[in-house]
Structure formats: C-alpha cells, structure tokens
Structure 1
Amino acid sequence: MTSHYQVLIIGGGTAGIMTAAQLLKNKKSSSVGIIEPADTHYYQPAWTLVGAGTYDFDKTAKPMASVIPEGAVWIKDKATGFNPEKNSVLTESNGSITYNYLVVAPGLAYDFSLVPGLGDAIDNGVVCSNYTDPKHTWNVIKNFKGGVALFTQPATPIKCGGAPQKIMYLAENHWRKNNVTAKTDIVFATAGTIIFGVKQIAKTLMEVVDRKDINLRFNHKLVEVDGANKIAWYELTKDVSAGGCVVMSGDDENKHLDEKFQYNYKNVKVTVKGDRYGIHYDMMHTAPPSVAPKFVKESNLVNSAGWLDVDHHTMQHNTYPNIFGLGDVAALPTAKTGAAIRKQVPIVVDNLSLLIQHNKIGTQSYNGYSSCPLVTDYGKMVLAEFDYNNNFTPDPKLKQLLIKDSSKEHWRLWMLKKFMLPYLYWNKMLKGQNV
C-alpha cells in the first residue's frame, strides 16, 4: 500500500466520504486515501427514530467498504498523531503516511470522565442514549410505566443539539397512546437558558412543550450521575439565592426553583447537597459528553477549547494552509450535524482543487448553515435551518414539498426525515452529488 497521497482524509464518516466522493467525481485529485478503522458506516440521524421504535436499526448501517468511493484507497487503520511540518499522519499499524493536502474529519469522541457516574449508568437499566445505543432507548421507553422521565444533556458540544428534545417528544407521544402520561412527570434539564436558539423554532417548541405538559429546567449543568440511586446531579449556572428567588416548602428535599430556572413546574423529588441539585429519575435519556478524538485533542492543531482550529468560512486550518477540517471535529460555532457537513464539503473541495491547481483558495464562504430536524410527534416535524447568527434560513426547495413554513409542525417534514433524507444520504450525498 502506498504511503503517500495527494489528498489524505482522516475519517470515513459523512464528512470524509462526501469529501472524497466529490474530489474523485469531479477529478479534482490524482490520489485520495481515507484512514478509517471501522467496518461499518452508520446513518446516525435515523437513530432518533430507532430510539422511538419507528425505524429499523439495521437499515442505518452499511459495510464501510460499500461507501468508500471508487478510486479512493481505504486505509483500514487508526490515526494516532500528526507531524504537520513533515506533512505526515501517524497510524497504529501503517506507520507514517504522507500527504500534499490533509482533510481532518474523524468526528467526535465521548469522554464520560467529564460526568462521573454516567459511563457506568449509560445503556444500563433505565438510563439510555440514542447517541450510543438507540435500541436500548426504545426498550426503556416502551417498558416505562410512569414516574419521573428525565431528559437531559451535558454542557459540552454534542451531535445535533436538538436530539435530546426529539426523543422526549416522541416518548411522550408513545406514553400518551399507552396511557402512561397521567402517571408521568417529564422533565427537560439543560445548561442552556432557552429551548432553542432560533426564535421562530423556539416559539413552536414552546407550544409543543405546553401541549405535552413538559417541565423545562434551565441553567442546569449535569455534573454527575448516581445510577444506583437514580439521581442526576446538577450545578446551577446562575445564582439561585439572589433576591430571595429560592422557594422553600418546608425542607431542603423540596426546595424548588424560581421561573428563571424552570417553566411549567413539576414537584418532582430533588435532593440538595451544598451547591449541587439532584433530580431523582425513574428513567433518563441523555447525550454523552463530547470532545475531539484524543489524537486530535492532544495535537498542536486544536484551539484552546480542544477542537480543530479552522477558519469559520473556508475550513482551512489557521496555522497550516494545506490542512482542512470539517464536520464534528471542527471548531465551528454551529450545530454539529450532517446538514452542516452537506454545506461544508463543497467549499472544502473547491478550496482543495484550487490549491492543487493554482496554489490559492477560492472565494466560497461557509455561513454556518446547519439544520436540526425536530420531530415533535410520530408524523410531525419542524425543520430548524439556521446560520452562524441564528438567522432562520429555510431551504427554498421545501416549497417543492408544498411546505410554506418549516418552523411549524408538518407531516410532510416527517416524511422528509423518515424516507427522503436517508435515501438522499445513501444514494446522492455519499456518491458525491450536491443535494
């Protein structure tokens, strides 16, 4: 196997495969290598639906060999480090591989040490996560018989920030159909201060929250999980005691929060210990705390927050001009989604091809576009599309689906999520077509 490539790509996920496919389809590169250790490529956006029992997990997986673009060399190995001065990447089994241009797109990694106790609790008993095992999530949801259903997320960046909400809305729908909601208090606890950063979407989601009688708890930073006693521990990221905000109801066990911290209050059992606030749950869904993969985080290619340091508009590395980064690993202040990658790839490919041909990058600029399909019920969805400034930026193509306003719930958006997007992903996006 050759150990030098004109373009070397780290990662066989959405970003890596799409970049390779577009480079080769348009004959922009003479040799492309893809470093990827996994045997299987997953369509992860459907895992929300798997966790709600309405999509077959096996249909989200294909052999990695089947998605590697024709003409690319699959280096089935793990990248372990960088030597950017020598234009080389270190690997576990193949030693050093050199390149003219490097694309870093290995996705993200989970670091359970950031929330002690979560690693032991997750995918075990009543604690579940669509991010790690959506089949277990569905088992937890369908076997839940009532009590406190806690949906939460860590304070780190995560894949698709809307995902912890989507599964909550679908779970409520399932429980309503099965007469479990009357015996259930649904709590959504987040370190954020609002339900969603785009105003038009937030307005619709608050209507959904009202309809489903969900208790929102803001400024809640998840810091520990006690799986044995079923308590999620939080630090409150705003001072609760200022101005007599905290309401006491007899004892510390029932201390509850003012309206700056919660909406649609439910008197669920809590325990207060020092500056920590523990919510007792009967089932919990969360996202794992996420970081850049270790070999990236420990390299000199990252910013102070530990993510790949690239220009927000060109995706070119801020120190090494022959390195690009995109997808979940990139330090871009937008949501980490496949939809964001769909808009990032053509710009990276354009810049790479111009560098190869003319030793300069192009003028195309990524505006931070991302989208979050927010499923609100079985058969209903809202599509949040937005840019770096959280401007609502709906795709004009939605008009072809007879959808006038994608910030409102619509059954056609559900059809897009469940049927059209997976088809486009496997048959168009991964084949190098712009969609």
Structure 2
Amino acid sequence: MATHYQVLIIGGGTAGIMTAGQLLNQKKSNSIAIIEPADTHYYQPAWTLVGAGTYDYDKTGRPMSSIIPKGAKWIKDKAKGFDADNNTVHTEKSGDITYDYLVVAPGLAYDFSLVSGLGEAMDKGVVCSNYTDPKHTWDVIKNFKGGTALFTQPATPIKCGGAPQKIMYLAESHWAKSNTKSKTDVIFATAGTVIFGTKEIAKTLMEVVDRKDINLRFNHKLVEVDGDNKIAWYELTKDIEAGGCVVMSGDDDNKHLDEKFQYNYKDVKVTVKDGRYGIHYDMLHTAPPSVAPKFVKESNLVNDAGWLDVDHHTMQHNKYSNIFGLGDVAALPTAKTGAAIRKQVPIVVDNLALLISQNKIGSMSYNGYSSCPLVTDYGKMVLAEFDYEGKFTPDPKLKQLLIKDSSKEHWRLWMLKKYMLPYLYWNKMMKGQNV
C-alpha cells in the first residue's frame, strides 16, 4: 500500500521548505510530506563570500532535521520518477508515495558532460567554482601569483547568473591589496552580449569593470576545458541565447554597451584551432553547466528544453492541474535565485490553499521578479532586481534601509548581503514567514 499525503513536496531546499512552512503556518494543510535525501541544508548565497575569504563555510549549513517544518513528515529518500496520471511519486527506498497535490522543487543538477573536460578539471589545482567548492575557490584566489585570471560560465541556465562575476570583483579587490594585481589580467568571458540584461545595472557594472580594468569577452560559448594545458576552449557566436540574469541577450537597447566581442582588450595568450578559440589561463573560475535533475528531465512533466513545464504566472503545471513547480527546476524565463523563490512561494501556497478548499486557483500572479545581489568589492554591493521583461524593479522595502537607488554601489547593501539576508533566511523564510 502506498503512503498517501494531501500535499507532497519534492525537495528540502529553499522552495520546498518555504512552501511547507507557509502552508503549515496558515493552517492550509495538515498532511504534508517532504522528500529530501540530504542531511544538510545550505544557505548557498553566502558561498560567494566564502570563496572570497569573508564568510565561514561551516556557518552556511544546518542539519536538515532542524529545517524541516514541524508538522511536515520528512521522507529521507530520493524521488526517482513520476506517475502523474495516478498521482504517484516513485522513490528509491520508500516505495510509491501518492498525493492529492504535488509540489516539485528539487532544484537543479550539474551536468559536467556538457563542457568536455570540465568535470575532470573541476575543484582541482587552479580550476575552481563557488557553486561546488567555495573553500577551494578561496585557496585558488589567495595562492594566485599573477597571470591570466579567467572567469567564465557555460551557456546553460545557472543558479544566479550574477555569481560568476561577483567572485571576479572580489578576487580583483584581494589581488589589488596583495600586490598581485599588477601582474594579472582579469578576463570575463560569457556567451551573452552584455554584462547584464537590465540597463541601470549594466551601467553601474561597466563602471566597476572600468575601475578594475577587467577585459570583457562576449559571445564566448564555453565548450571544453583542457585542465592539463590550462586552456578554456570557446565557440564564438553572435546569436547565442543563454539563461540567467547576466546574459538576457537580445534587448536592442543594450547594444550600445558593446557591439563587438571585446571590451577593454587585454593581450593574453590564445590559440585558434578547428574554428575554436582557446584562452590560456593561470586560474579559472566557472559555474557548472546546469540541467533539471535526471528523474524530472526524463519524465513527461518537462518542456522541450528539459525544465519543469509550469505556467509563468501561477506556477501550476501546464498539463496536470494538481502539480506545481517552483525554484530552480521550473521553466521560468527569469534568474534562478532565492529571491525569485521568495516571491514564487506565496503564489503557490495561495493556489494550493484555494484548490484544497474551493477547487480553484487564485488570482495572484508572479511577474518574474528575481534579484542578484552583485557584490562589487569588499564592502560594496549593487542589488539587481528585475522582472520577466528585464525591467529594473526595486523592492520598496529597501527604502527602509535608507537606500535610495539599489542600482548603485552601496555599503548598506553589502551589510544586507553579509548579515541581514542570512538572518532573514534562517529565522524568517525557513520558518514559513512571508518576508
């Protein structure tokens, strides 16, 4: 006999925990289970700061048992497939679990096979990623003695598209203090056509790039990493469209930023071979190529691109009306961030509550809000907040912090990133409060 729950949630990350917490707090359901195999829940936004040596990695994790909301059943197991026609989820060890309503929020997975050689090189020697091992990133940055410092990212959607450049700005600051900067060329290579898809933010970031003397290389699609010879291989393309907030390409208003491949050219060693362009590096930071988890990708719940097929405004599944999806796994054309989840959860909760009580969904609509806290220096930050259109949409709550314009660098925003957001996360968001 399959175990049955009114609301079954897949994923004990930000989206799953917040959804369960808000449903329980609002007494909308008393039969909730969360399928999650991990022992530890991480506050990943702080990993940028860990990688820059200004946050303790151990403080970013807490036992999953302390995070699962009281009143929700924790099924410590992996989901391995769906039978959505029969309201069933298959698990590895616990058999089949049935539900009235399903919330799919397992986050995303890394697929290193999408960039040849990257899996072998990752987190070894001078190749690092804040996404996988921020402690190794800090080792690489602090031990770097000069040369070509290459910061890059794949052309897949990634968690917070701003992360690959935040660590670059902090690394440059560290090297400037440690006299390594004069012997270093800092390069940012991206498949996108602009530094950022929101004009107000792009303007500020170009000023940061000028101040820090960083070479931007656009239309660079990372296809291979040769760890032995320290070469990152790219295909140069002019029409690549990549996900994530850095590379919302195609907005004609942004073309004035750079119409060519390069900004602030640096003469570093390159090799051109078989139509590919290889940049030789002395240290490399990248984000891993990202996909939906295998059990989601191989199900009938995804769109053509392999992400969970949900309505962009209600988060209801486009085929199964009793399934919702949110967070990184959802096929939503906005950046995959915790800030986006913060705005998605109340809508999913409202819809579930009304379905349970009145068999209809609500009128709340998600506008694509997401935000990337872009750390530009130790003690400085810009907060990129935008919607589906890429329009700058600052949260009015920032006015309470005496921040008039969050598109400009500010030390108060750094304080928000380092102290206030982790506090809000652990003490409010994880407790099911709508902040």
Query: Are 2:2 and 2:95, in contact at CA under 8 Å, matched by a contact in 1?
Result: no
Question: Partner of 2:75 in structure 1?
Answer: 75
- 1:40-62 deviation per Cα after TM superposition (whole angstroms, max 9, x unaligned): 00000000000000000000000
CA shift at 1:429, angstroms?
A: 0.3
Aligned partner letter, 1:139:
D
Pair 1:367-2:364 in alignment: no
CA shift at 1:148, angstroms?
A: 0.1
Equivalences for 1:403-422 in 2 at 5 Å?
403-422=403-422
Question: How far apart in 2 are the matches of 1:104 and 1:340?
Answer: 16
Question: Partner of 2:424 in structure 1?
Answer: 424
Question: How far apart in 1 are the matches of 2:190 and 2:384?
Answer: 19
SS of equivalent to 2:394: coil
- 1:34-84 deviation per Cα after TM superposition (whole angstroms, max 9, x unaligned): 000000000000000000000000000000000000000000000000000
Pair 1:28-2:24 in alignment: no
Aligned partner letter, 2:171:
A
Aligned partner letter, 2:341:
I
Query: Are 2:48 and 2:166, in contact at CA under 8 Å, matched by a contact in 1?
Result: yes
Pair 1:111-2:111 in alignment: yes
Return 388-397 or 311-320, whichever deviates more: 388-397
Pair 1:50-2:53 in alignment: no
Question: Partner of 2:329 in structure 1?
Answer: 329
- 1:316-338 deviation per Cα after TM superposition (whole angstroms, max 9, x unaligned): 00000000000000000000000
Aligned partner letter, 1:211:
R
Question: Partner of 2:97 in structure 1?
Answer: 97
- 1:93-129 deviation per Cα after TM superposition (whole angstroms, max 9, x unaligned): 0110000000000000000000010001010000000
Question: Which runs of 5 or more structure 2 residues have no equivalent in the other structure?
Answer: 240-257
CA shift at 1:274, angstroms?
A: 1.7
CA shift at 1:2, angstroms?
A: 7.5
Aligned partner letter, 1:24:
L
Question: How far apart in 1 are the matches of 2:385 and 2:311?
Answer: 21
SS of equivalent to 2:102: strand
Pair 1:383-2:383 in alignment: yes
Q: TM-score, normalised by structure 2?
A: 0.95
Question: How far apart in 2 are the matches of 1:48 and 1:238?
Answer: 30
Question: Which runs of 5 or more structure 1 residues have no equivalent in the other structure?
Answer: 240-257
Question: Partner of 2:280 in structure 1?
Answer: 280
How many aligned positions are there?
417
Question: How far apart in 2 are the matches of 1:277 and 1:113?
Answer: 19
Question: How far apart in 2 are the matches of 1:423 and 1:4?
Answer: 35
SS of equivalent to 1:139: helix
Question: Partner of 1:434 in structure 2?
Answer: 434
Aligned partner letter, 1:340:
A
Question: How far apart in 2 are the matches of 1:124 and 1:399?
Answer: 43
Query: Are 2:51 and 2:137, in contact at CA under 8 Å, matched by a contact in 1?
Result: yes
Question: Runs (4+) of structure 1 moved beyond 3 Å?
Answer: none
SS of equivalent to 2:272: strand
SS of equivalent to 2:5: strand
SS of equivalent to 2:12: coil
Equivalences for 1:219-238 in 2 at 5 Å?
219-238=219-238
CA shift at 1:341, angstroms?
A: 0.1
Question: Partner of 1:252 in structure 2?
Answer: none
Question: How far apart in 1 are the matches of 2:301 and 2:395?
Answer: 33
Equivalences for 1:165-314 in 2 at 5 Å?
165-238=165-238, 260-314=260-314
Question: How far apart in 2 are the matches of 1:78 and 1:434?
Answer: 28
Question: How far apart in 1 are the matches of 2:30 and 2:55?
Answer: 39
Question: How far apart in 1 are the matches of 2:20 and 2:9?
Answer: 8
Question: How far apart in 1 are the matches of 2:372 and 2:394?
Answer: 11
Question: Partner of 2:162 in structure 1?
Answer: 162
Question: Partner of 2:85 in structure 1?
Answer: 85
Question: Partner of 1:125 in structure 2?
Answer: 125
SS of equivalent to 2:149: strand
Question: How far apart in 1 are the matches of 2:384 and 2:352?
Answer: 30
SS of equivalent to 2:266: coil
RMSD of aligned Cα (Å): 1.0
Aligned partner letter, 1:142:
K
Query: Are 2:375 and 2:381, in contact at CA under 8 Å, matched by a contact in 1?
Result: yes
CA shift at 1:3, angstroms?
A: 1.1
CA shift at 1:259, angstroms?
A: 6.2
Aligned partner letter, 1:50:
V
Identity %: 85
Equivalences for 1:348-363 in 2 at 5 Å?
348-363=348-363
CA shift at 1:23, angstroms?
A: 0.3
Aligned partner letter, 2:44:
Q
Question: How far apart in 2 are the matches of 1:128 and 1:136?
Answer: 6
Q: TM-score, normalised by structure 1?
A: 0.95
Aligned partner letter, 2:323:
I
SS of equivalent to 1:360: coil
SS of equivalent to 1:196: coil
SS of equivalent to 2:235: strand
CA shift at 1:30, angstroms?
A: 2.3
CA shift at 1:238, angstroms?
A: 2.7
Question: Partner of 2:244 in structure 1?
Answer: none
Query: Are 2:2 and 2:98, in contact at CA under 8 Å, matched by a contact in 1?
Result: no
Query: Are 2:30 and 2:71, in contact at CA under 8 Å, matched by a contact in 1?
Result: no
SS of equivalent to 2:312: coil
- 1:366-404 deviation per Cα after TM superposition (whole angstroms, max 9, x unaligned): 000000000000000000000000110101111111100
SS of equivalent to 1:304: coil
Aligned partner letter, 1:406:
S
